[in-house]
Amino acid sequence: MDKSKKNKVTELSLLTIVTAIKVVSGIDIRVKTRRRDIVLLKKLYYKIAKENTSFSLSKMGKFVETSNHATVLFHLKSVDYLIKTDVRYGKIYFEALKIIEKYIISNEIKKSSTKKEIVFIKKLVGLEGCGIPEYILNHLMEYSEEDLKTLYSTRIVPFKKMLVVKKEKERKVEKVNIF
């Protein structure tokens, strides 16, 4: 993407870039791991983020569970070679860029309109019309799959149990009030 397109976009979010890479590769890169395929996909993410956003290297790294800015800088130095020599990752990079360019061209972002960006991301990952309220999706899409599994097991499951107990107590109270 050239600089003129960057100027038309007030701010492309890191979530949009991660989502574009996930749509193309099928892998969520927001996990802390040394798995080669994820590390190489993170390199692509850093390149796209560096060229199309004004986020610091530190913020780019923290968003995908990378330790610090030096790691991001290290990956930025080798990503061009990766794109030129590895056909698979070159294809993923250009496909992700196409998705992001379509996103920019379709004017989904106007003056930092996050709501429109979330709608676009929901369409990309198939969450449109899934019945989950938008304000919840907005928050959930910020987290990795691993974090969401932890949330489910430590918060949602106990919450569901608490609701069942609460409904049972309400039924008992109703029965008492009837008599």
Domain boundary among 131, 152, 171: 131
Whether residues 31 and 110 fall in one domain? yes
Asked whether residue 173 is domain-assigned, the answer is yes
**pLDDT tens per residue, range 15-50:** 889 989 998 998 989 888 899 999 999 999 999 999
Residues spanned by the domain of 162: 143-179
Q: For the domain that residue 115 is a member of, what is the CATH number?
A: 1.10.1750.10
DSSP-derived 3-state class of residue 48? helix
> What is this structure's pTM?
0.58
Whether residues 98 and 28 fall in one domain? yes
Asked whether residue 137 is domain-assigned, the answer is no
The backbone torsions φ and ψ at residue 26, rounded to the nearest 5 degrees and listed phi first, read: 80, 10
Residue whose C-alpha is closest to residue 54's, from 16, 21, 22, 14: 14
Of the candidate ranges 24-28, 61-65, 72-76, 141-145, the one whose mean pLDDT is the lowest: 141-145
Q: What is the pLDDT at residue 133?
A: 67
DSSP-derived 3-state class of residue 114? helix
Q: For residue 104, is pLDDT > 50?
A: yes
